[in-house]
Amino acid sequence: MPQGSTNILDEWQCLEEEYLKLQETHRTYLQKLEEISKLQKTCSSSISHQRRRLKEISHLVNKCSTETSDDIDGMKNRMKTRPNAFFEMEAFLPKKNGLYLSLVLGNVNVTLLSKQSKFAYKDEYETFKLCSTVILLLFSCICYFFVSYRYASEYFAHHSCYILVRYNEFISPHGHPRPKAHITSTVIYQKRLRVLIDISVNMADMDTETITHTEPMAEEEEPLFSNLDLFLFSLIVGLVIYWFMSRKKPEPIPEFKKLNTLTPTTRETSFIEKMKKTGKNIIVFYGSQTGTGEEFANRLSKDAQRYGMKGMAADPEEYEMGELSRLSEIKNSLAIFCMATYGEGDPTDNAQDFYDWLQENDDEDLSGLNYTVFALGNKTYEHYNAMGKYVDKRLEELGAKRIFDIGLGDDDGNLEEDFISWREQFWPAICEHFGVEASGDESSIRQYELKEHTDINMNKVYTGEIGRLKSFEVQKPPFDSKNPFLAPVTVNRRLNKAGDRHLMHLELDITGSKIRYESGDHVAVFPTNDSVLVNKLGQILGVDLDVVISLNNLDDESNKKHPFPCPTTYRTALTHYLDITHPPRTNVLYELAQYASDPKDQENMRKMASSAPEGKALYQSWVLDATRNILAVLEDMPTLKPPIDHLCELLPRLQARYYSIASSSKIHPNSIHICAVVVEYNTKTGRVNKGVATNWLKNKLVTDNGHKSTVPMYIRKSQFRLPFKATNPVIMIGPGTGIAPFMGFIQERAWLKQQGKEVGETVMYFGCRHKNEDYLYQEELEEAEKNGVLTQLNVAFSRDQEQKMYVQHLLKKHKEDLWKLINSDNAHIYVCGDAKNMAKDVQTTFHEIAEEIGGMVRTQATDYIKKLMTKGRYSQDTRATGNTVPHNQVMDHMALSQADRVMDKEMAERRVTVAIHNQPLHKVKLVARARGLDETMAIVKKEGATEAGAVAVAATIVAVMTAVVDTTAADTTAAEEADLLVWGSRDYGSRDEPAGDAGDNSDNNTIFVEGLGDDVSVEEVGEYFKQIGIIKVSKKTGELMINIYSDKATGLPKGEATVSFDDPPSAKAAIDWFDGKEFRGKPIRVSFATRRAEFTQRGGGRGGRGGGFKGRGGGGGGGGPNFDIKGGDWPCPNRSTVEAEVTAATEVVASEVAEVSVAETVAATAVAAAVEDSEVATRWEEEVTAETTEESGHTKC
C-alpha cells in the first residue's frame, strides 16, 4: 500500500478514536444535563412549596391571640428573613425561558449555555424584539384603518337591518295564536329591539354625516381595499418573509451510533479514570482554607516524580470520593490526604462534602485503599488537627490500610519544619513498601509554562479580578469568595487618641448588593501588595512588569489550568494574586537555589531546605527569625537572579483577610464596620515590615483623587451568635480589637430594647494598655452603660498602674456574680481575641470559679465548661499568632520586637517554672509558663543563637523567679507548678484539661497500665498487649516503646508501665478491651497516659544575683530531688512522693525571691550577653557552669 494511503488511514484511525471519545463525552453531558434539570426542578418546586406554606403560617400567626412569647417573636423574625434566603437560592437557579427562547430552544435553559452561546442568543433575541415591535406597530395601524371607518359602518348597517326584520316578525305573527305569557315576553322584547334600532340608526347617520362632510360622494362605488390598504398589506407580508429567510438555520446534529461498551460510563468527576489515562498512581487530596494545604499537596505530587512515581493533586470537592474503593485497580496506588482543620475542629469548605461522605457511609469497603494523612492545625486551639485525625481514624475503620503514620503540622510552631520532617521519612517508607527505587533526580520540576502575549485584546486581560473577568466592572450578586463585592469606604478614622500604634475604624457601604450579615459574622477583604515592593521586585529581576503573560499547566488533564487568573501582567500578579511579604518556604528556596551564581549561596539555600538540624537552624534564624520575605532574600543574595515566571509559579496565593464585624445589621443594614490595628514592626535586619491588609486599609481614604475608594469583600458566616432568647444574660470578654464583634452585640441588644423586648443582663469585660491611649469605643461603651444596654462595663488597664490588671483578674474579682449568671441564669459566655494566652487564661479562670464558688474539683470544673461549649453557651472567636497564617481567623498578627519579646514586663507577673535540661547536644531550654510554653521556648531558640547565648538566657531564671512578689505567692506558684511537673499534663503542656479519659485523647497512642506485678518484663507486657494492635518501635534503639517504672524511694518495681501503640485507635481499643481484665490472675487498670513537657528539673538552686553583673543576692536553694525524666517519657503517678516533690519545689521557688529592681537589672544583663556580646556571654557561661557544677554536681552544659 502506498505510503500516502497508510498515513491517511492512520489519521483516520486517530480521528475515529477521537470520535468515539466524543460520543462518550456527549452521552455523559446528556446524563449530567438531565440530572441538573431534575435538581433544578426539585429545588424550584421546593421553594414554591416553602413560600406557600410560609404564607399559610403567616396567616395563622396573624389570627392567633395578641399574646406573644420569645419563641413566637423569634419565629416571626426568622419568617421575615426567609424570603431573602429564597431570593438567594433562586439566584443560583435558572430563570424560565421567554416566548422566543421557548420557541427556539424548547426546554433547554439558556443558563446552561456557554458565554459565547448566551451572547449569540442574546443578539438574536434583540433582533427578534425589534422585528416584533415593527410588526406590532404596523398591525395596530392596519387595525385602526379597517376598524375605524370602514368595517364599523358596515357592521352597524348590517345589524340594523337584521334587528328591523326581527322586529317586523314580532309585529306580524302570521295568524298563529300565542299564549298570554308569551305575549307578555314578546312585548318586552319588542321594546328592547326598538331601543337597539334607534341606536343603530343614530350610529349609521353619524357615520354618513361624517363621510358627507369629509369626502364628496363619488359617482362610482368605492372599492373594498384602497391603495394604502394594499401597500400596508404588502409591506407586512414582505417583512415576515424577510425575517423567516434571514433566520439562522440550526446546524444538524449528527446521530451518534450506540456503542456496546462493557465498561461503566466515564464521568468528569472520576479521578480513577483520569489517573489511568495519565499513568498516575498517587493522588493527593487536600482540604485547604488558606492555601497551605493545597500548596503541600502540590509539593507532594511533584515529589512523586523524584521517587519514580507519578502523582496528582486533587480537590475532593471536584471528584466523586466514593471511587476510593476502586483505587486498588491501579498498581502501587496511594491516596494522600493533606487535611487542614478549620474553626472549632471543622473541615475546610472544600472538604465538607468529603467529611459528610465519611460520616454517612458506614458500609463502604475501602479494604483495597492504601493511604496516609498529613494534618494541618494549630495547638493553640482546643481541637488540634481534629479533621486530619478524623480522616485517619475513619479510613482505617472502613478497612483502608495506613501505609505511614499520620503527620501533625503545628501552625503555632513551625509548620514548614513539621511538614519537611514528616516528608523526609514518608517517601523512603513508601519506596520500601512498593519496592521502588528513587530516581535520584533532584532537578527542578516545572508545573507551568510561560506564554507571553504580544497582540491581545486588553479587554480580555485580568486586572485583579478574583473570578469572572470584568467582574469588578459589572457587579452581579450573589457575592462570595469567587465574586467579591466592591464596597465603597464611607468612614476611615483612627480610634486611639495617642500612642505609637494605629487602631482604625472603617465602614463599608453595601447598599444595593443584597448582602446580608448577622452580628458575629466575619467580613473577608482581598488586599493588595504595596506597589513599592512590587516595583523593587521588578527592578531587582530586571523585567518589564507590564508584559501580558499566561502560565499554563503542563498537565492537560489537570483541573487547575493556571496558578492565578490568566492572561494578566506580572505587575497584576505580584500586586493582586501572589503573597510577596510572607517568609518563603523551604521548597521555594530549594527551587530558586539553581539560579544563584555564587556556589556558597546555592549551598546555603539548599541547606535551609534540608531536614538536617543545621539546615533547620539556619532556616529558622536567617528566614523566620529575621522575617525575610522574598524581596529581602533577593536583596541579601545579589547573585540570585531567578526567572520571574518561575518565581510567580512558586509564590503562594495572596489570601483574603478575615475580620470580625463590629456592627449589627439591625442598626446598620447597609454598612459593615471593621476594627483593626495597623501592623508595622522592625526586623532584625533593620527593615520595616508592614502588614499587608491593615496598611492597605489604612490608606483607603473615603475619596481618592475624586473617586470613591472601594474594598473587595464578602461575608463569611460564623457560629458566634447571640442567644436565641434575648432574656438570657451574656458575658462578653474582648480585650483590644477583640471588642469588635461585641460592638455588634451591644447594638443588637440596644435595638431589641427599642423594640420593647425584654433583654437580659449584658456584661462587658474589656482590656487595653492605657485609658488615655487605646480605650477603644470609649464613648459608645459608656453611652451604652448609661442607657442600660450594658448592665456592667468592666475595663482593665494593664499599664496605667504599678500592678498590672488583665480581664481575667476582673473575672476573679466578680466571681460570685459571674457564677450566679452562669449557673442559675443560663448566661452565655463569649470570648474574642488572642487564642494563645488570653483565651486560655480566661478559660482557666472560669475553671477556678467553678471550683471555688461551685464547689467542684478540677475535673468536674473542666467537664462543666466543656458542656457549656457543647451547648453553645461558651463561644470563642479567637485568633492565633504563629509563623504562618492561622486557620481560624486570618488576621495580620502583631509581631513583637526583640526587646518586647525578652524584656516585656508581662513575663514578670505570670506563674513560672524554670529548668535547665541536659541533652546530648548540651543545649539549654527554658521552660516557663510566661506567655505560654511554646512562645517562651521560642524566645530562647531565637535570642540565643549560640550555645553560650542560650546559657546566658537560661541565667535569667533568677530574674524571672523574682517576679513572684511575696513568699505566699511563691508557695502557691510552686505548689501548682510542682503538681504539673509530677503528674504531667495532657496534650502539650496544657494544665487546663484533665488526665485520662476526661480529656480529648484522639491523638494519644500511649496507655498507662497498673497492677502488672513486681517482676513483670518488657517482653511479657509486649506479648500481652500486641494482641490488640502494633506496639511502636523506637527509631533510635529499635526496641518496643514500653516503659516499666520503679519506685524512686525504694528502687523496687511498681508494677506500672506505659505502652505506646503505632496509632491512637489501637490505644483506645486496648483500654476498652484490657481494662479490668486479668493479667497473671489479677485484674489490671488501663487508661490513657498523660503527656508531660520535655525537661529535667535539677534539685535545689543557687541564690539570686545582686544588682549588677557580678553582684550576689539571695540564698542558695536546697538540693531537692531530681525530676530525672528523659524527653518523651511518660510520668508515673507515685502518690507517695507527691508531698515531698511539692515541698522541694516550694523551697526552690521561695529561695529565688528577690527585689524586682534587681531582677530587671539581671534580666537586661543576661539578654545583652545572649544577643549582643559573645565575649560577655562566654564569661557568663563559665561562671554559671562553674556554680552549677559546684553546687549540684552536674556536668557542664
Binding site per annotation, positions for FMN: 288-293, 340-343, 376-385, 411
Residues pairing with 793 in the sheet:
764
Decide: 101 and 110 in contact? Cβ < 8 Å: yes
Q: How many other C-beta atoms are found inside a 10 Å radius of the C-beta of residue 181?
A: 8
Cell numbers given for 326: 476502586
Decide: 342 and 289 in contact? Cβ < 8 Å: yes
Nearest Cα residue to 903 out of 1167, 1175, 562: 1167
Residues pairing with 488 in the sheet:
710
Nearest Cα residue to 259 out of 22, 511, 613: 22
- How many alpha carbons lie under 13 Å from residue 1037 in its C-beta half-sphere? 7
Helices 227-246 and 115-146: crossing angle, nearest 10°?
A: 170
Annotated binding-site members for NADP(+)? 501, 737, 798-799, 804-808, 841
Secondary structure string (H, E, C) spanning 321-351: HHHHHHHHHCCCCEEEEEEEEECCCEECHHH
Total count of residues recorded for the chain = 1197
Question: Which amino acid is located at 715 in the chain?
Answer: I
Task: Return the residue matching grid coordinates 451510533.
Answer: 257
ω into 478 cis (within 30 of 0): yes
Query: Which value, to the nearest 10 degrees, does the dihedral of the CA atoms of residues 345, 349, 354, 356 take?
Result: 60
Nearest Cα residue to 911 out of 866, 857, 851, 972: 972
Q: How many other C-beta atoms are found inside a 10 Å radius of the C-beta of residue 569?
A: 19
Question: For residue 478, what are the contacts with CB-CB under 8 A and spacing of at least 6?
Answer: 88, 91, 92, 514
Annotated binding-site members for FAD? 657-660, 675-677, 681, 691-694
What is the rounded distance in angstroms from the CA atom of residue 1181 to the CA atom of residue 1165?
Answer: 13
Residues pairing with 553 in the sheet:
448
Helices 947-954 and 933-943: crossing angle, nearest 10°?
A: 130
What is the rounded distance in angstroms from the CA atom of residue 499 to the CA atom of residue 6?
Answer: 84
Q: Given strand 485-494, what is the order of strands in its sheet? A: 657-660, 522-525, 710-716, 485-494, 503-509, 671-677
Q: Is 1081 left (phi over 0), alpha (psi -120 to 50) or beta?
A: left
Burial 500-523 (b: 16+ CB within 10 A, else e): ebbbbbbbbbbeebebbbbbbbbb
Q: Is 1080 left (phi over 0), alpha (psi -120 to 50) or beta?
A: left
Question: Which amino acid is located at 731 in the chain?
Answer: I
Which of helix, strand or coil describes residue 938?
helix
Decide: 582 and 527 in contact? Cβ < 8 Å: no
Decide: 629 and 580 in contact? Cβ < 8 Å: yes
**DSSP character for 1193?**
-
Nearest Cα residue to 394 out of 468, 337, 477: 337
Backbone φ and ψ of 431, nearest 5°: -60, -40
Cell numbers given for 23: 460520543
Triad 592, 598, 600: Cα angle to 5° = 90
Annotated binding-site members? 288-293, 340-343, 376-385, 411, 501, 657-660, 675-677, 681, 691-694, 737, 798-799, 804-808, 841
Q: How many other C-beta atoms are found inside a 10 Å radius of the C-beta of residue 1177?
A: 26
Decide: 278 and 876 in contact? Cβ < 8 Å: no
Helices 858-870 and 838-852: crossing angle, nearest 10°?
A: 120
Q: Where are the beta strands (DSSP E) in 148-290?
A: 282-287
Question: Which amino acid is located at 430 in the chain?
Answer: I
